[in-house]
Structure 1
């Protein structure tokens, strides 16, 4: 179960709160984009970053001179948000139009991964997450590249999940309004793969569909 703290307690729309850890993991694993908040001298700022999960930790990476990386390395407290938009809810009244979504909020502090071997492991895990089997084919990162890259991790010890998927919620007196009501689904699909212009003709198109389940619509193209 997810931890219940003052910061993770959902007060608005509490019926949408989900406490299962797996729900948190699923949102992070599908989103892979974290909006990360930091405080700067001229005010707060939120920056979107690639982010991925290994077990109960979320990782980000970046150049050492990045202002976000510098702020997180300093031990600054932060907040990460992940959001997946699943569709519009079209009600009979303008007021009750809303959305279906899945969201997660993570609180805490990042720690720096200094060991290049560990950096290599978690960076390769990310590649395997988006393209299974690819680390067996590409040139892996060398020591110079790993040293130039900062990798940071945050524990998933304080987080909340909110899932809105409750359909149309019209007032009883609006049920006779003669207008269509229901859900307008919104889906992210993956594929097909697009070859780069300088790729040798003899190289076959790989199959990464196993990473995306029913989101994969790409038809393999070996032309």
Structure 2
């Protein structure tokens, strides 16, 4: 494909759509691969896929293979789902929660997300889903952005305590955050300080792809 070839020289935009939730959704050929972007940041594939792959490797692919049910808060184009299915070869169930139905339509059209049989996509606000779900999960991936902004509720202790309560024993949370200024550094450290150290261990993987910091929480008790 000629667009793929030339994308090694310059990114080639092939699709652009306005969305009430995400403002702008773009699909671009970049360095030989299709990526999904918002107006100012990468939403799926490209750098985001590298970031979350790094987090999954830190948890350990073998640990993930032994899991039964993974919850993904924030699906976008589904690059982390592809990593789990194609690279980790995870065989269990994946529940993906995405607030933007337009994003899922684009993911189905360009990235064949609807071809992944073990994935169930729920169109709902992540906060509402977390409050209602009765399931327990082996791994919860939090990857929620509104362009370059992160909703405040993600860092509130009520939400983090609720998410932690959904983990099975020896379960993990992988939380992708963006650090653009010192206030964000302070926010992340406050978030970690409020996690119960008697039940959970926490670690940070800082400065991945320039502006991202991963927080990994493991339930140990």
**TM-score, structure 1 normalization:** 0.25
If asked which structure has higher relative contact order (CA below 8 Å, sep 6+), I would say 1
**TM-score, structure 2 normalization:** 0.25
